[in-house]
Amino acid sequence: MTAIKIKNPGVHPGPKPQMQFLETVTRGLIVLCITMAIVLSSIAVCDGHWLLSDGKMFGLWYFCTTEDGAQPNCTTDLTQAAIEGLPVRLVFCRTVVSFAVVAAIFGLELLVMSQVCEGQDARRRWAFGSVLVLLSAVLAAAGLLGFVLLLRSQASLLGFTLTFWCQFTAVFLLFINGMSGHHIHNMVLLPTGERGKY
Protein backbone atom coordinates (compact mmCIF):
# COMPACT_ATOMS: atom_id res chain seq x y z
CA MET A 1 0.00 0.00 0.00
CA THR A 2 1.39 3.30 -0.98
CA ALA A 3 1.50 6.00 1.66
CA ILE A 4 0.05 9.28 0.49
CA LYS A 5 1.45 12.45 1.99
CA ILE A 6 -1.36 14.89 2.59
CA LYS A 7 -0.35 18.54 2.59
CA ASN A 8 -2.55 21.15 4.21
CA PRO A 9 -2.31 24.31 2.08
CA GLY A 10 -3.33 26.49 5.03
CA VAL A 11 -0.33 25.48 7.16
CA HIS A 12 3.12 26.80 6.30
CA PRO A 13 6.37 25.64 7.82
CA GLY A 14 8.05 28.04 10.21
CA PRO A 15 10.83 30.40 9.09
CA LYS A 16 14.19 28.87 8.42
CA PRO A 17 16.63 28.95 11.37
CA GLN A 18 19.22 30.63 9.15
CA MET A 19 16.86 33.54 8.45
CA GLN A 20 16.03 33.89 12.14
CA PHE A 21 19.74 33.96 12.96
CA LEU A 22 20.43 36.58 10.28
CA GLU A 23 17.57 38.79 11.51
CA THR A 24 18.77 38.48 15.13
CA VAL A 25 22.34 39.41 14.18
CA THR A 26 21.11 42.38 12.11
CA ARG A 27 18.97 43.68 14.97
CA GLY A 28 21.90 43.26 17.34
CA LEU A 29 24.18 45.26 15.04
CA ILE A 30 21.58 48.03 14.78
CA VAL A 31 21.36 48.25 18.58
CA LEU A 32 25.18 48.29 18.84
CA CYS A 33 25.58 51.06 16.25
CA ILE A 34 22.89 53.20 17.89
CA THR A 35 24.68 52.76 21.22
CA MET A 36 27.91 53.98 19.63
CA ALA A 37 26.07 56.97 18.12
CA ILE A 38 24.66 57.92 21.52
CA VAL A 39 28.12 57.79 23.09
CA LEU A 40 29.65 59.92 20.31
CA SER A 41 26.81 62.44 20.42
CA SER A 42 26.95 62.68 24.23
CA ILE A 43 30.69 63.40 24.11
CA ALA A 44 30.19 66.02 21.38
CA VAL A 45 27.34 67.79 23.20
CA CYS A 46 29.01 67.75 26.62
CA ASP A 47 32.31 69.09 25.26
CA GLY A 48 30.54 71.50 22.92
CA HIS A 49 33.66 73.08 21.38
CA TRP A 50 33.02 72.56 17.70
CA LEU A 51 34.89 75.26 15.76
CA LEU A 52 38.33 76.85 16.00
CA SER A 53 38.92 79.97 13.90
CA ASP A 54 41.56 82.70 14.14
CA GLY A 55 42.42 82.09 17.78
CA LYS A 56 38.75 81.81 18.76
CA MET A 57 36.88 78.69 19.75
CA PHE A 58 33.12 78.56 19.23
CA GLY A 59 30.98 76.02 21.02
CA LEU A 60 27.47 75.21 22.11
CA TRP A 61 28.04 76.37 25.68
CA TYR A 62 31.18 78.55 25.68
CA PHE A 63 33.11 81.06 23.65
CA CYS A 64 36.88 80.89 24.10
CA THR A 65 39.80 83.03 23.01
CA THR A 66 43.16 81.35 22.69
CA GLU A 67 46.66 82.76 22.54
CA ASP A 68 49.95 81.10 21.67
CA GLY A 69 51.13 78.93 24.54
CA ALA A 70 48.38 80.11 26.89
CA GLN A 71 45.34 78.38 28.31
CA PRO A 72 42.07 79.18 26.51
CA ASN A 73 40.05 81.92 28.17
CA CYS A 74 36.44 80.67 28.07
CA THR A 75 33.22 82.40 29.00
CA THR A 76 29.51 81.64 28.85
CA ASP A 77 28.87 85.24 27.78
CA LEU A 78 28.52 84.57 24.07
CA THR A 79 28.02 88.26 23.27
CA GLN A 80 31.82 88.62 23.53
CA ALA A 81 32.10 86.78 20.23
CA ALA A 82 30.72 89.93 18.57
CA ILE A 83 28.45 87.96 16.25
CA GLU A 84 24.90 89.20 15.92
CA GLY A 85 22.29 86.75 17.19
CA LEU A 86 24.84 84.17 18.32
CA PRO A 87 23.59 83.70 21.93
CA VAL A 88 19.95 83.22 20.93
CA ARG A 89 20.61 80.97 17.95
CA LEU A 90 23.01 78.76 19.88
CA VAL A 91 20.21 78.15 22.38
CA PHE A 92 18.31 76.50 19.52
CA CYS A 93 21.34 74.43 18.48
CA ARG A 94 22.16 73.09 21.92
CA THR A 95 18.49 72.46 22.72
CA VAL A 96 17.81 70.31 19.67
CA VAL A 97 21.05 68.31 19.95
CA SER A 98 20.35 67.69 23.64
CA PHE A 99 16.81 66.51 22.85
CA ALA A 100 18.32 64.34 20.10
CA VAL A 101 20.44 62.47 22.64
CA VAL A 102 17.43 61.99 24.93
CA ALA A 103 15.25 60.71 22.06
CA ALA A 104 18.00 58.31 20.96
CA ILE A 105 18.34 56.92 24.50
CA PHE A 106 14.60 56.26 24.75
CA GLY A 107 14.60 54.75 21.27
CA LEU A 108 17.49 52.46 22.15
CA GLU A 109 15.69 51.38 25.33
CA LEU A 110 12.61 50.39 23.32
CA LEU A 111 14.72 48.49 20.78
CA VAL A 112 16.45 46.53 23.54
CA MET A 113 13.15 45.82 25.32
CA SER A 114 11.65 44.51 22.07
CA GLN A 115 14.35 41.84 21.98
CA VAL A 116 13.20 40.30 25.26
CA CYS A 117 9.47 40.39 24.37
CA GLU A 118 7.48 38.33 21.90
CA GLY A 119 4.60 38.87 19.51
CA GLN A 120 2.92 42.12 18.58
CA ASP A 121 4.17 43.90 21.71
CA ALA A 122 7.79 43.36 20.66
CA ARG A 123 7.06 44.56 17.13
CA ARG A 124 5.33 47.71 18.36
CA ARG A 125 8.25 48.55 20.64
CA TRP A 126 10.73 48.00 17.83
CA ALA A 127 8.68 50.20 15.48
CA PHE A 128 8.32 53.02 18.01
CA GLY A 129 12.01 52.76 18.95
CA SER A 130 13.01 53.08 15.29
CA VAL A 131 10.81 56.18 14.93
CA LEU A 132 12.47 57.76 17.98
CA VAL A 133 15.92 57.03 16.56
CA LEU A 134 14.94 58.66 13.25
CA LEU A 135 13.54 61.66 15.16
CA SER A 136 16.83 61.86 17.05
CA ALA A 137 18.75 61.89 13.75
CA VAL A 138 16.60 64.74 12.42
CA LEU A 139 17.04 66.81 15.60
CA ALA A 140 20.80 66.21 15.71
CA ALA A 141 21.14 67.11 12.03
CA ALA A 142 19.12 70.30 12.56
CA GLY A 143 21.38 71.37 15.42
CA LEU A 144 24.52 70.57 13.46
CA LEU A 145 23.33 72.38 10.34
CA GLY A 146 22.17 75.36 12.41
CA PHE A 147 25.61 75.65 14.00
CA VAL A 148 27.38 75.54 10.63
CA LEU A 149 25.06 78.10 9.04
CA LEU A 150 25.32 80.40 12.04
CA LEU A 151 29.12 80.44 11.92
CA ARG A 152 29.57 79.99 8.17
CA SER A 153 31.74 83.11 7.91
CA GLN A 154 34.25 81.65 10.40
CA ALA A 155 33.87 78.02 9.36
CA SER A 156 36.49 76.07 7.47
CA LEU A 157 36.88 72.36 6.89
CA LEU A 158 40.05 72.17 8.99
CA GLY A 159 38.63 74.43 11.68
CA PHE A 160 36.01 71.96 12.88
CA THR A 161 37.13 70.07 15.96
CA LEU A 162 37.13 66.34 16.67
CA THR A 163 33.98 66.64 18.76
CA PHE A 164 32.18 68.26 15.81
CA TRP A 165 33.08 65.26 13.65
CA CYS A 166 31.92 62.96 16.46
CA GLN A 167 28.52 64.62 16.24
CA PHE A 168 28.56 64.39 12.44
CA THR A 169 29.29 60.65 12.66
CA ALA A 170 26.56 60.21 15.28
CA VAL A 171 24.00 61.86 12.98
CA PHE A 172 24.99 59.51 10.16
CA LEU A 173 24.78 56.41 12.39
CA LEU A 174 21.43 57.41 13.88
CA PHE A 175 19.89 58.02 10.46
CA ILE A 176 21.22 54.85 8.81
CA ASN A 177 20.31 52.58 11.70
CA GLY A 178 16.93 54.23 12.26
CA MET A 179 16.08 53.60 8.61
CA SER A 180 17.38 50.03 8.86
CA GLY A 181 15.30 49.35 11.96
CA HIS A 182 12.21 50.77 10.27
CA HIS A 183 12.86 48.65 7.17
CA ILE A 184 13.32 45.45 9.18
CA HIS A 185 10.03 46.10 10.96
CA ASN A 186 8.12 46.53 7.70
CA MET A 187 9.65 43.68 5.75
CA VAL A 188 9.78 39.97 6.60
CA LEU A 189 10.78 37.00 4.46
CA LEU A 190 7.84 34.59 4.27
CA PRO A 191 8.29 30.82 3.77
CA THR A 192 7.14 31.18 0.15
CA GLY A 193 9.95 33.62 -0.54
CA GLU A 194 7.61 36.58 -0.82
CA ARG A 195 7.93 39.71 1.23
CA GLY A 196 5.18 41.04 3.38
CA LYS A 197 4.43 43.12 6.39
CA TYR A 198 4.34 42.12 10.02
* 3 state SS of 119: helix
Tens digits of residue pLDDT in 113-129? 988 777 788 888 988 99
- 95-113 burial by CB neighbour count: b if 16+ within 10 A, else e? ebbbbbbebbbbbbebbbe
pLDDT (0 to 100) of residue 193: 41
Q: Convert 115-138 to b/e letters by CB count within 10 Å (16 or more is b).
A: eeeeeeeeeebbbbbbbbbbbbbb
Tens of pLDDT, residues 24-55: 888 889 999 999 999 999 999 998 888 888 87
Higher pLDDT, 158 or 69: 158
Can you list the domains of the chain with their CATH numbers?
18-48+84-192 (1.20.140)
